[in-house]
A and B are shown apart, each in its own frame.
Chain A
Amino acid sequence: MRLLAAFLSTAIEHADSILLLLETGRNTGSAFALVRSLVESAYRGQWMYFLSDDEAIKKICSQSKDVYPYFSIMATQLEEFHKTSGLFTVNDFEWKTLNGLTHTGLAQIARRFDKQGNIRPTYTEDEIADMIRLVIRQLLHLSITFCAMKEKRQEATEIGIECNRVVKELF
């Protein structure tokens, strides 16, 4: 339980920091770079709590490698576990893009040029809005997990339905 709380608090702090960076209007690249960390801490925490066994938790606590499944598998497992439809899905393409943003790959580099070839950040409003949507999705996941952690299974199910609705109607 305390281990999950550590994952959740890390993820919420990342979400908070992403918004803080975006709000400045001058740190968008750094905000984008942090999104993968948010997604990873949210998914790993949930996978650890809901889907791992004692052996995996021992490995996590001993810094062993290869504890977590490949990201898309982890997402599918969480989707099935929560009986949601598309709320947890992050496909390989999106995941690789997030990696590129974090590790200064092409996803990040290609957004450092303007049309004249000057080196300056060129993240669009649409891209920023997409990132906020992704942050919101993570926060919605985490609220489901929070209720499950507090053994409020009924509330967690209701929140899952509500989250699906928000994503379907507003995204």
Chain B
Amino acid sequence: MQPCGERTFLMRSLPRTHAGYHIHRASVSRGGGGVDFEDGAFELLQVGDHLEEVARLRVSLRAQHPHQALGRLRQRAVKSAEVIRMQEPLKTLQEVEALSEQERVEYWASRTPDERVVAAWEMTREHYRKLGLWHEGMRMDKTIARRIVGRDAWRAAEESDIG
């Protein structure tokens, strides 16, 4: 859950004295993109002096609905138990669908957040394929979520196809 106090960061304009203000201006003038800058490129900006302040601006992107907050707790718990259940193979989506609702909930709760995102993606994609909304030209291929989320973890799970 996001503390209410942090909400104000999103509504407040950045003061001119703030490092982020100058960094933003510099990024715009240099056409800054999603690349790493060389050390020293912004040394005049005194980023270090303001780093703690800027770090606090890192507002969570996460949802705050109570049921989603519960999901976060579950995710954290699963992450800590990840090593223990590494040996369990993934079920196929068809196998999961054959489970009872309670078994299904427990099964997904036992998997990592990355595995659940990938499963949700593959269900959605299958859903689109059935509706005829998916077409060859789209990036929505079966494995894209695996390639984005938890790349390293999925490399190990590749042999156990959940699709």
Q: How far is the CA of A168 from the CA of B149 in the complex (A)?
A: 20
Please give me the residue from chain A that is nearest to B45 by CB atom: A119
A29 in the interface, Cβ–Cβ < 8 Å? yes
Beta-carbon contact of A23 and B131 below 8 Å: no
Give the dominant DSSP class at A's interface.
helix
A60 in the interface, Cβ–Cβ < 8 Å? no
Beta-carbon contact of B149 and A19 below 8 Å: no
Known: A110-B55, A110-B58. A166 touches B124 (CB 8 A): yes
Beta-carbon contact of B139 and A139 below 8 Å: no
Q: How far is the CA of A111 from the CA of B61 in the complex (A)?
A: 11
Known: A91-B63, A91-B65, A132-B149. A118 touches B35 (CB 8 A): no
Residue interface bits B121-152, CB-to-A below 8 A is 1, else 0: 10110011001010000111000110111100
> Hey, which chain A residues are within 8 Å of B105, CB to CB?
169
A interface residues, how many (CB within 8 angstroms):
60
> Hey, which chain A residues are within 8 Å of B54, CB to CB?
109-110, 113
Distance (whole angstroms) from the CB of B136 to the closest CB of chain A: 12
Residue interface bits B25-59, CB-to-A below 8 A is 1, else 0: 00110001111110101100001100100110111
Beta-carbon contact of A118 and B36 below 8 Å: yes
Beta-carbon contact of B61 and A107 below 8 Å: yes
Distance (whole angstroms) from the CB of B117 to the closest CB of chain A: 5
Residue interface bits B1-17, CB-to-A below 8 A is 1, else 0: 01000010111101000
Q: A136 contacts which of B9, B113, B124, B150 (Cβ < 8 Å)?
A: B124
Q: How far is the CA of A15 from the CA of B148 in the complex (A)?
A: 14
> Hey, which chain B residues are within 8 Å of A17, CB to CB?
139
A161 in the interface, Cβ–Cβ < 8 Å? no
Distance (whole angstroms) from the CB of B91 to the closest CB of chain A: 13
Q: How far is the CA of A51 from the CA of B131 in the complex (A)?
A: 24
Known: A94-B63, A131-B61, A140-B124. A120 touches B55 (CB 8 A): no
> Hey, which chain B residues are within 8 Å of A20, CB to CB?
139
Instruction: Please list the residues of chain A having a beta carbon within 8 angstroms of any beta carbon in chain B.
Output: 12, 15-17, 19-20, 22-23, 26-30, 86, 89, 91, 93-94, 96-97, 99-101, 104-107, 109-113, 117-121, 125-133, 136, 139-140, 142-143, 146-147, 159, 162, 166, 168-171
Enumerate 28 A-B pairs (CB-CB under 8 Å) in ascending A order: A12-B138, A15-B140, A16-B140, A19-B139, A86-B67, A86-B68, A91-B63, A93-B2, A106-B9, A106-B20, A110-B20, A111-B58, A113-B55, A118-B36, A119-B37, A125-B114, A129-B150, A132-B145, A133-B117, A136-B120, A139-B128, A140-B127, A143-B124, A143-B133, A162-B127, A170-B117, A170-B119, A171-B120
